[in-house]
Chain A
Amino acid sequence: MSLELFKEKGVPLDQQRFTWRDLVREPISKLDNDAFSRVRIILMNGIEAESNRFLHALARMNGPLRTEAARVRRVDQHQQTLVNWLNPPDQSPLETTIGFEQVAIEVTASIAQSEPDPYLAQVYRYGLLEDFDHMYRYAALMDRMEGKDANSLLQCYTDILPGRPTSVEHRAPEDDLRRPYDRRSADPLTKLNALTIMAGENQTHDFYMTIGPMYSDPIARQLYAEIASIEEQHVTQYESLLDPEQTWLENWLLHEATEVYNYYSCAQFEDDKRIRSIWERFCDYELGQLHFVMDLFQRIEDRDPREILPERLPEPIQYKSQRDFVRNVLEKEVGYRAKGTEIGDLDESEATRAYREHMNSEGSPSEMVSDGYIWTPGTELLRAAG
């Protein structure tokens, strides 16, 4: 029986407190923790980063709500810190990148299957195959630059194969915009899914933009430049799924509900007791924040939050290997392209073709890095040894 959003009040906002010692816990073990623990940590960092980003935008455009936004944002800031600092220091930026793409693949795949709207589900499947390809390129980079096997992070949950080639993912901006859901008729799960995936891609973009210049290999730098550009495209794509007519408070309510939903999902699947207690604590914090915003919504917009939110949370995000689904989508849809808001077996626009041709005109880093790459256990160097 899933969480009842109106019944469960969580922890009141003014009791959501931390110390520095509390914020900096023992990180997970890169070697011994399940890969999905890392996936959840990375995603929840993204969810909190999105909350921070959104509440800053809200504050800039809603003077009377600045104090409330700042109060909630402060807690989210510290939640984000506690969660993100669970990443271990022996996990290099490139290893963390592999983790990021595993998040994109497995979480998008889970959401694509649970999404009630067929059009949005198609959009998720479309993006999924692109992130899937990014994984392949980064795995090739890790193997060929460092002699390391990306599967030691993936733990065999996620295939390392080419998807929709990164080199053809470059599109004119107008071909990244999709049709938004209708806020009046969309299933609440549709809204939670869109916010979740948008948050994930936004933090991925920010992460690649930050670490890209930290590599000394110029081709690694080019690869990050290329894939960061795609991630910006993905943020544009997923953001365009949100109904732009939603009010600020409606958006805020949905953000809080998305946070509750995600922490709840994490807690359902987390096998590390210590980490699960964090998800549970923060689920309670988000419930407290949700009720805080419900109150604002009622007082300021004079609307019932039940217009927007379901009584109960939907089925949680499925933190398990989505390999079969991904392989199925790969087989059927790798040739799909996008034009305007549509995705399918169609011809691309002249604008997209011209843009891509120009961007790739001095070489394609994603193609160079993975030329002939076939993932092999223990790296391609040992393939001949059997």
Chain B
Amino acid sequence: MDNPTKMTEGMRINKTGMATAAHADAMREVPGMTERVKIPGAGLDRGVTDARAAYLKETHALGTVPPPTSVKGAAKAALEMLKGNKAIALVDRMAERLAFERTGVRFYGALLEKLDVGSGFDGGPSRDDLLEIRDEELAHAKMLKESLEQLGADPTAVTPSADLAGIEAQGLGSVFADARTTVGQCLHALLVAELADHENWTLLRKLADEMGQEDLAARFQKAEQEEQRHLEQVRAWAKAYARAEAGLG
């Protein structure tokens, strides 16, 4: 190429790797330059580890879970069984699920927008597929809201686990919202979301079971089963996309 830094008209070239970089040879000289440039000495690893350890030891928790406050009727009996930290733990995880499901609804909304402009593929999701999953995620969110209220908990509160779920979802959300990503490209992020979704419903259902919360466990089991179906669907789409990209079948 006459000018390797110039983007070829109409053709985009990935410039991140060394194999095609114009100055790769010069760059390869760098590791051998330790005589010319003073490299920080050994022991720095311990230094940064110790510095981090100081913060890890001194810092307080992310935040607290507001305990259930207003409990009525049948919920009172249920709450009685949740002594000690059990109520807090359950509320925290239910809030995480609620946060995740709400965000999930928005993820599927973004995918629908992409599908509607034609970025779908053979073997991929149809509009009805995405709508069905989105509506089920919303139903899960509503169920969790009602369940939290029945336990006397505040469904608008952001618990530590809900907060962490929000941080985790930020990366996924960036993928869905990017106008440059296709439905197929979003499937990796969707798989991460649905794997976490299903796994955490299973965990929550088992927790409710062990805590003797039969009614809750039954609701969570329904959600878990629906999430199982979502996961299987997303796996199939991801497989179809990967095969289509590779020109197989």
Chain A contact residues, CB within 8 Å of chain B: 21, 26, 29-32, 90, 92, 144-149, 151-152, 215-218, 220, 377-379, 381-382, 384-385
Q: Given contacts A90-B62, A90-B167, A147-B102, is CB(A216)–CB(B156) below 8 Å?
A: no
Chain B residue numbers with a CB within 8 Å of A30 are 62-63, 158, 163
| Contact count band on B | 35 or more
Considering the chains assembled together, what is the distance between the CA atoms of A26 and B163 in angstroms?
Answer: 18
B60 within 8 Å of A by Cβ? Answer: yes
Distance in angstroms from A378 CB to nearest chain B CB is: 5
Q: Are A385 and B146 in contact (CB under 8 A)?
A: yes
Q: Given contacts A31-B158, A90-B167, A382-B142, is CB(A144)–CB(B62) below 8 Å?
A: no
Q: Are A377 and B156 in contact (CB under 8 A)?
A: yes
Considering the chains assembled together, what is the distance between the CA atoms of A31 and B95 in angstroms?
Answer: 13
Q: Are B106 and A216 in contact (CB under 8 A)?
A: no
Chain A residue numbers with a CB within 8 Å of B62 are 29-31, 90
B16 within 8 Å of A by Cβ? Answer: no
Q: Are B106 and A147 in contact (CB under 8 A)?
A: yes
B177 within 8 Å of A by Cβ? Answer: yes
Can you list 9 A-B contacts with CB-CB less than 8 angstroms, sorted by A residue number?
Answer: A30-B63, A30-B163, A31-B64, A31-B163, A147-B99, A147-B102, A152-B156, A216-B179, A378-B145
B85 within 8 Å of A by Cβ? Answer: no
Majority secondary structure, B binding face = helix
Residue pairs across A and B with CB atoms within 8 Å: the count is 86
Considering the chains assembled together, what is the distance between the CA atoms of A378 and B166 in angstroms?
Answer: 14
Chain A residue numbers with a CB within 8 Å of B142 are 382, 384-385
Considering the chains assembled together, what is the distance between the CA atoms of A250 and B242 in angstroms?
Answer: 67
Closest B residue, CB atoms, query A216:
B178
Q: Given contacts A30-B163, A147-B105, A378-B156, is CB(A216)–CB(B174) below 8 Å?
A: yes
Q: Are A146 and B167 in contact (CB under 8 A)?
A: no
Q: Are A381 and B63 in contact (CB under 8 A)?
A: no
Considering the chains assembled together, what is the distance between the CA atoms of A215 and B178 in angstroms?
Answer: 8
B138 within 8 Å of A by Cβ? Answer: yes
Considering the chains assembled together, what is the distance between the CA atoms of A379 and B104 in angstroms?
Answer: 13
Q: Are A215 and B177 in contact (CB under 8 A)?
A: yes
B160 within 8 Å of A by Cβ? Answer: yes
Considering the chains assembled together, what is the distance between the CA atoms of A215 and B174 in angstroms?
Answer: 7
Chain B residue numbers with a CB within 8 Å of A151 are 156
Q: Are B64 and A152 in contact (CB under 8 A)?
A: no
B170 within 8 Å of A by Cβ? Answer: yes
Name the contact of B105 in the complex, choosing from A215, A217, A381 (C-beta under 8 A): A381
Q: Are A385 and B145 in contact (CB under 8 A)?
A: yes
Given contacts A146-B166, A216-B173, 11 further A-B contacts (CB under 8 A): A31-B158, A31-B163, A90-B163, A92-B166, A92-B167, A145-B177, A147-B105, A151-B156, A152-B156, A381-B141, A382-B145
Q: Are A145 and B173 in contact (CB under 8 A)?
A: yes
